[in-house]
Amino acid sequence: MAANLGLAFKMGLAKKLDRDSEEKNAKLKRIQALNDRKREWLFQSYMTGSADRKKSVKARASMIKQAVTDGFSKESATLLEASGELGDHLSRISKLKEKGEYNRERVKAMDKLVINTLKRRPKEEQIAALKYIAQGNLNYEDESEFQDEFINAIFSANPDSLQKATEIYSDVMSSGGGGLDFGPTGLSTRVLGDYSATMRAQIDKAIAQNVAGYLSKANLVQQGDSYSWTGADAGAAQDIVREMAAEVEKRYYDPAETGDWKSVIGIMAENIGKQANVPNLKVSDYKVSTLPDFVPPTSNPNILPPPPLDSGAEPDDEEDDETILDNNFLD
């Protein structure tokens, strides 16, 4: 009896071990199947992304090549591409070419400004940018090295290979293929074009019309598309308009002026109007100011104000007093 019980126990234990083994093997097969599907997904996703990044790199390299042809250095073109601004610059140059207004010297001037913005960046950004420029390949060769390592890991029988392949995949995806994280320079593409004669005439007209009512004895006369001044203050009026026009042109060529560069006309005209309300202030003494909180001078120091009236008795009363005093003296 005892022998039978012992045999039954051994047989039961053997069956349990077999079941455990079967369950373990089934679990391992399920894990293996999941891992195989993950390897397949990683491989397909990586290779598809790699093809897309190759196309992207090719397009970006083509933009840089065009920028160099247009007058940018490869260094500044690479930085503009990294900041996402190169497309706008190339579009602006293309439009200038269509209108026959393309000026290579203006592009070279912008090129220097782009490089100068790098000097104002934090040290770590400067180092990263210079390294990126020095590689000259948009960092795609780095991904090619990753790709070899990735493929080896994907098809490796090493138990840790899937984890390694996943890490490589994550690194490549998070870096976008090894590009440079470089913020915008903030330089306006406007300055790639010249301040044309047509633009200058339009600005002169706008200035003249804005200040015409503030220049006392200066009369604005229109002759076709041109304007001139007559009257006693004509010379002073012309000087004011010329100085205002120079300020507007300076703003046009300022690449940091990314807003409405013509809005300064309104500010300057308003400040001329403030001075027009100052008693005895000559037009020749008006100041051209771009300050929104401009305070005009109080008056012309060469003109003396009238003397103040006596705050005492009225003139008639004073005359009567003098008569009384004279009469008393005579008495």
pLDDT digits (tens, 9 = 90+) for 198-253: 899 999 999 999 999 898 888 888 877 778 889 999 999 999 999 999 999 999 99
Q: What is the pLDDT of residue 224?
A: 76
Mean pLDDT confidence for 133-139: 63
Mean pLDDT confidence for 305-317: 46
For residue 312, name the pLDDT band (cuts at 50, 70, 90).
Answer: very low
Helix axes 123-135, 104-119, angle to 10 degrees: 130
For residue 172, name the pLDDT band (cuts at 50, 70, 90).
Answer: low
**pLDDT surpassing 80 at residue 304:** no
For residue 177, name the pLDDT band (cuts at 50, 70, 90).
Answer: very low
Strand blocks (E) in the chain: 219-223, 226-230
Asked if residue 171 lies in contact with residue 146, where contact means CB atoms within 8 angstroms, the answer is: yes
**pLDDT surpassing 50 at residue 315:** no
Phi, psi of 308 (to 5 degrees): -70, 150
Asked if residue 277 lies in contact with residue 255, where contact means CB atoms within 8 angstroms, the answer is: no
Q: What is the pLDDT of residue 298?
A: 77
- Per the DSSP assignment, residues forming a β-bridge with 221 are 228
Residue 106 one-letter amino acid: R
DSSP code at position 299: S
Mean pLDDT confidence for 109-116: 91
Q: What is the pLDDT of residue 160?
A: 73
Asked if residue 88 lies in contact with residue 183, where contact means CB atoms within 8 angstroms, the answer is: no
What are 215's two structure tokens?
């220049």
- Length of the chain equals 331
Q: What is the pLDDT of residue 179?
A: 58
How many CB atoms are closer than 10 A to CB 221? 13
Q: What is the pLDDT of residue 27?
A: 63
Taking only the tens place, the pLDDT of each residue in 244-294 is 999 999 999 998 888 899 999 999 999 999 999 999 899 999 999 999 999
**pLDDT surpassing 70 at residue 325:** no
How large a percentage of the chain has pLDDT more than 90?
34
- Lowest average pLDDT, out of 85-89, 163-167, 308-312, goes to 308-312
Burial class from Cβ neighbours inside 10 Å (0-12, 13-18, 19+) for residue 195 reads middle
Query: What DSSP string describes 233-252?
Result: THHHHHHHHHHHHHHHHHHH
Asked if residue 108 lies in contact with residue 54, where contact means CB atoms within 8 angstroms, the answer is: no
Mean pLDDT confidence for 58-71: 90
What are 281's two structure tokens?
């202030």
Q: What is the pLDDT of residue 24?
A: 62
The whole-angstrom separation of Cα 196 and Cα 261 is 15
How large a percentage of the chain has pLDDT more than 70?
65
Three-class SS state of 222: strand
- The larger pLDDT score, comparing residue 316 to residue 56, is at 56
Q: What is the pLDDT of residue 324?
A: 30
CA-based end-to-end distance of the chain: 172
What are 227's two structure tokens?
């304007």
For residue 22, name the pLDDT band (cuts at 50, 70, 90).
Answer: low
Longest CA–CA separation in the chain, Å: 172
The whole-angstrom separation of Cα 220 and Cα 215 is 9
Closest CA to 111 of 135, 60, 77: 77
> 176's torsion region: left (phi>0), alpha (psi -120 to 50) or beta?
left
Residue 261 one-letter amino acid: W
Asked if residue 117 lies in contact with residue 187, where contact means CB atoms within 8 angstroms, the answer is: yes
